[in-house]
Structure 1
């Protein structure tokens, strides 16, 4: 019987995956990086440090874990050299070398290390398939201009991938109003909301589309883009017409609430085929 380790970061995704594991009756263990508590409740998580990564992996193996799923945001911790054990020392050159190449390279190296311990690393959709919508409309209907803006935003997000920047962009009337960078989606949409009046060519035409997609070439088992009800509310405050995203490549948390929020604000939600 499969046993899954949920490596829980911050945000709502770990909560959804833990609920899915509990509902399925699958044996599981929850783990958290020390200093980055998750929102999971009553899970009695195992806490680990990067400085003692090898003993943590050994513990998972001793507990007969078969597969691992990463969920939620985790910032890079500050390492304390005095805590590093001899076995983990052998892993640090791999991790530190990957850090110099960007977040995607670091995440791929983390996956490779877990696989070296014979764990199957899976994406969130392997635990909760309903979190990743396939192609189609969830709410509303984009206009032809909205569809053109979504296509333009998709081109921009694809162009950002080699730079290892964000996974989103806002386009209105063919103009890029903002791209997602390190501060994240909320900061980008807040900027658009604050400057909306002066950003558009013609207020009477297309209001704009927020588009989200994974970075091209990224390992989709980890760090998939995530949307939720709060994103819908932020898009409404920014005066946009709706949200489009790459079908099969974005996690939608609380989908029913997202749809209700979108319908109340007269926004479209569109899982767009790439």
Structure 2
């Protein structure tokens, strides 16, 4: 293999940003997983993963990046090629253990083919939210306390591999991100009765799980996240420094300012 880069493109804007920054990269997609790069990519069925490996080898791919949100396409065992049949027992064992276990298995599978798996943040400098980034109102002492509470909750549930976000108001947990994702959580928080917030608006904290491999599924925010936080009636968004991707940075910061919420980044213990 050579050092050529491949983008395994899934949903969202991140694959497009990577393709623009690395115009010589080859694009691949998985059947059943929507991608903005589908028009320029070679598509492979997950059941035929051996064909994907062969195509990468023939193209001289030495490095690859998983980009975008990856849904879990349905698998038909009757269509498995020899390579998928070989790895299927390990894959099936990893799935019930949660996203981290599954993604670690996926990374290991590609590395076993001699590929170097990179994170999107390795290829796009400035992609993550740096420590101290701030926009919007200065958080109150109560909001800082809610931030600490939410970060503690996320730390405590990390081993359970549940999610990457938590909303807290007046010390009360309003919701935890689960398999439904950030939008579903914040839509739920928007419906929490005001009296349950005890006079506080609350905050949303987003951070990777402890020990999470950030090469796949790094937490991501963008304008839609800001809109959802504001619509949920929360005072602001706090993210883990250098461990959360920010899509469309200028628009994200501008919208936070416009909606009157804060966006800050800090290091969580």
TM range (shorter): over 0.9
The alignment partner of 1:92 has SS state of helix
Contact 1:149 1:173 in 2 (8 A): yes
How many residue pairs align between the two structures? 266
Instruction: Name the residue aligned to 2:198.
Output: 201
Contact 1:124 1:221 in 2 (8 A): yes
- 1:153 to partner: Cα distance: 0.6
Flag the 1:196–1:137 CA change in 2: closer, same or farther, 3 A.
farther
1:172 matches 2:169? yes
Instruction: Name the residue aligned to 1:18.
Output: 19
Instruction: Name the residue aligned to 2:104.
Output: 108
- TM-score, length-normalised on structure 1? 0.92
- 1:180 to partner: Cα distance: 0.8
- TM-score, length-normalised on structure 2? 0.94
Q: What is the rounded CA distance, in whole Å, between the counterparts of 1:104 and 1:273 in structure 2?
A: 21
Q: 2:86 aligns with which of 90, 100, 103?
A: 90
Pairs within 5 Å for 1:63-142: 63-140=59-136, 141-142=138-139
Q: 1:257 aligns with which of 230, 251, 256?
A: 251
Instruction: Name the residue aligned to 2:260.
Output: 266
Instruction: Name the residue aligned to 2:216.
Output: 222
Contact 1:137 1:268 in 2 (8 A): no
Moved over 3 A (4+): none
Q: CA RMSD in A?
A: 1.5
TM-superposition CA deviations, 1:211-264 (whole Å, max 9, x none): 000011111111011101011011111111110011011111011101100111
Q: 1:238 aligns with which of 218, 225, 232?
A: 232
Flag the 1:262–1:87 CA change in 2: closer, same or farther, 3 A.
closer
1:54 matches 2:28? no
Instruction: Name the residue aligned to 1:210.
Output: 204
Contact 1:33 1:49 in 2 (8 A): yes
The alignment partner of 2:25 has SS state of strand
Instruction: Name the residue aligned to 1:3.
Output: 4
Instruction: Name the residue aligned to 2:180.
Output: 183
Contact 2:229 2:236 in 1 (8 A): yes
